[in-house]
Amino acid sequence: MGRKNTGNSDDGSSAAEIPPLESQQVGKGKPTPKRREAEAKRRGPVAPAPLTAKEARARKKAARGDKTERKQAANERREDAADRRARMLAGEEKYLLPRDKGPARRLARDIVDSRRHLLGLFMPLALFLILTMFAAAALQSLITLVMLVMFVFMAAEGVLLGRRVNNRVHERYPDSTESGLKLGWYVFVRASQLRRMRAPKPQVEIGASV
C-alpha cells in the first residue's frame, strides 16, 4: 500500500511540472508563417509547370495577348515617343535632355541662334575636306591650307562666343552654378551645327534681340 501511494504522488508531481501546451504558445497562439509561405498565400495558387514545349508556347502567347493587341501597344509606344521628341524639339523644359535643361542653357541657345556664325560652316567644310582627298596632289595642298586657316578662325570665334555667352548668363543669372568651360563647350557644339539640325530647335529668329 505504501508503494502505491508513492507512485501516485510521483505521477501527480510530474503532471504538475509539465505546463499545458497553450501556455507555451506565444503571440497569436500559432506559429508565425515563413515569409515565402506568406507571399505564396497572397499570390494565390501557382499554375503547374508546362509539360510540353507546345504548352509553354501557348502560355507565353496568351500572356502577351493577341496580335491585334500587340500591334496596338506598339503603335501607342511609337506615338508616345514621337510626341515626346516633338515636345523636346519645341523646347518644353519637361521633355528636354539633362544637358539642355535650365534657364542658363536656354539663354545660351537663344544667343547662339540669334546670329549667324562662321562655326556653322564646320560640318560642310569637314565633308568638303574629305572629298578633296581624291583630288590632285597640288590642289590638295592648297585646299588643306585654306581649310586650316578656316579652322583657326572658327576656333577663335568659338572662344569669343563662349566668353560672351558666359558673361551674359552670369549677368542675368548671378546665382547660376554653370561651369564656364562646360557652357562654352555647349555653345561651341551648338554653333558648329547647321541651324536646321539643332536640337532643341531654335526659338528665336536671326537678328532677334536676346
User: What span, in angstroms and rounded, lies between the C-alpha atoms of 151 and 191?
Assistant: 14
pLDDT at 6: 46
Higher pLDDT, 48 or 6: 48
Q: Is 34 left (phi over 0), alpha (psi -120 to 50) or beta?
A: beta
Position 3 in a domain? no
Residues 142 and 175 in one domain: yes
Residues 116 and 190 in one domain: yes
> Of all helices (H) and strands (E), which one includes residue 160?
helix 137-172
> All 3 cell numbers of residue 95?
521633355
Position 37 in a domain? no
**Domain count of the fold of the chain:** 2
Q: What percent of the chain has pLDDT over 70?
A: 72
Other CB atoms within a 10 A radius of the CB of residue 45 amount to 7
Between the alpha carbon of residue 90 and those of residues 31, 94, 119, 130, the distances in Å are 62, 11, 23, 33
Domain limits for position 183: 102-197
Residues 92 and 110 in one domain: no
Nearest alpha carbon to residue 157 among 127, 123, 122: 122
- Phi then psi dihedrals of residue 14, to 5 deg: -65, -40
pLDDT at 185: 95
- Phi then psi dihedrals of residue 4, to 5 deg: -65, -40
Higher pLDDT, 100 or 49: 100
Name the residue with cell 500559432.
30
Residues 80 and 157 in one domain: no
Determine contact, residues 141/163, Cβ cutoff 8 Å.
no
Position 116 in a domain? yes
Q: Which of 97, 116, 148 is the last residue of a domain?
A: 97
pLDDT at 63: 66
pLDDT at 21: 45
Position 111 in a domain? yes
Name the residue with cell 536646321.
196
Q: Report residue 108's pLDDT band, with 50, 70 and 90 as the boundaries.
A: very high
pLDDT at 24: 46
Task: Tell me the pLDDT tens digit for each residue of 15-48.
Answer: 445 444 444 444 455 556 566 666 555 555 556 6
Position 185 in a domain? yes
Higher pLDDT, 124 or 135: 124
Name the residue with cell 582627298.
133
Residues 108 and 158 in one domain: yes
- Cα of first residue to Cα of last residue in the chain, in angstroms, is 118
The average confidence (pLDDT) of the chain is: 79
> In the predicted model, what is the mean pLDDT of residues 180-194?
94
Residues 91 and 161 in one domain: no
Secondary structure (DSSP) of 27-83: TTSSPPPPHHHHHHHHH-PPPPPPSSHHHHHHHHHHHH--HHHHHHHHHHHHHHHHH
Residues 142 and 88 in one domain: no
Higher pLDDT, 62 or 3: 62
Sequence-distant (6+) residues with CB within 8 A of 23 are none
> In the predicted model, what is the mean pLDDT of residues 51-78?
75
